[in-house]
Chain A
Amino acid sequence: QQQVKQSPQSLIVQKGGISIINCAYENTAFDYFPWYQQFPGKGPALLIAIRPDVSEKKEGRFTISFNKSAKQFSLHIMDSQPGDSATYFCAASRGANSKLTFGKGITLSVRP
């Protein structure tokens, strides 16, 4: 049973456009929702994270939107750049001390 599901499986966006990646979760006990970014040949790195007591969190061009009733959260990348081309993983955990459950990841390609 996959507890965190990402969509779409891959995404191609033109430079300057908005990239939107969605995640749905099943376990209502999850209460931390981070996004990780992975470049080829590198390990994943934390990009941005949100807790369910807020509906949106913004850091620069990256925004997480959270919909608790729908059990969904999404990553928006504004003004997408070729340097944003990477694999993006959403994840979830129960409490700050718990292990992470990752989605399968999606590959984003930003065309010049």
Chain B
Amino acid sequence: DVKVTQSSRYLVKRTGEKVFLECVQDMDHENMFWYRQDPGLGLRLIYFSYDVKMKEKGDIPEGYSVSREKKERFSLILESASTNQTSMYLCASSSTPRNYEQYFGPGTRLTVT
């Protein structure tokens, strides 16, 4: 059974803290993605990676960075968390060339106070 796991289901952080969200996939997928999901806004792509140590900006990269040191792991970093980053964060992975078939983790609900 394919699996994408995220380090936390719920996270509460304070404004200004550095936040790490971890994602691990066990499917040997080349591609990994970070989205945020907000009511009325759907899924918005933050960053993605097509290979180890490679990263590309998505549609809303401001305030975020990412790291991919190993193929199975993709980390999202909030350098200085702000209240407008309170959201559901979803990680996904896919295999080339079926990139349209993305496998999602259960999400991390991040609250920044």
A residues touching B (Cβ–Cβ < 8 Å)? 32, 34, 41-46, 49, 89, 91, 93, 96-100, 102-105
Contacts and interface: CB of A to CB of B under 8 A. Distances in A.
Nearest to B42: A104
Size category, B interface: 20 to 34
Given A43-B4, A43-B92, A99-B48, A49 B107 contact: no
Interface in B13-40: 33, 40
A105 B101 CA distance: 17
Interface of B: 4, 33, 40-45, 48, 58, 90, 92, 96-107
Nearest to A102: B43
A91, A98, A99 — most chain B CB neighbours (10 Å): A99
A32, A46, A89 — most chain B CB neighbours (10 Å): A46
Given A34-B100, A93-B99, A103 B42 contact: yes
